[in-house]
């Protein structure tokens, strides 16, 4: 059984080892850390979307040769 305890410093979550495989726990903790970072961000959603689109365009420019033969680009 997963338990949550409130302390003066924060929350303590106890998860029995047999309740959640380590890989799933690590994925959850990564997501939780990302949520904390995102909640502190001052980046506007439109700026974030622009950065995401730029990143995707850069990735595609660097990698499209792996998906489309050179003569067809």
**Domain limits, the chain:** 3-64
Model pLDDT, residue 59: 96
Q: How far apart are CA 29 and CA 21, in angstroms?
A: 12
* 10-residue stretch averages of pLDDT, the chain, 73 residues long: 96 93 94 94 93 96 90 76
Query: What Å distances lie between residue 68 and 2, 15, 31, 61, CA to CA?
Result: 49, 47, 33, 11
Model pLDDT, residue 69: 83
- Which DSSP state fits 37? H
Name the β-bridge partners of 20. Answer: none
Model pLDDT, residue 72: 79
Model pLDDT, residue 23: 94
Quick check: pTM over 0.75? no
Contact indicator for 5, 15 with CB cutoff of 8 Å: no
Model pLDDT, residue 12: 96
């Amino acid at each position: 059984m997963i338990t949550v305890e409130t302390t003066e410093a924060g929350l303590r979550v106890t998860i029995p080892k047999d309740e959640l495989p380590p890989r799933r726990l690590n994925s959850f903790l990564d997501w939780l850390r990302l949520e904390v970072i995102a909640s502190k961000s001052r980046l506007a959603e439109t700026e974030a979307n622009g950065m995401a689109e730029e990143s995707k365009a850069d990735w595609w420019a660097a990698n499209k040769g792996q998906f489309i033969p050179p003569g067809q680009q």
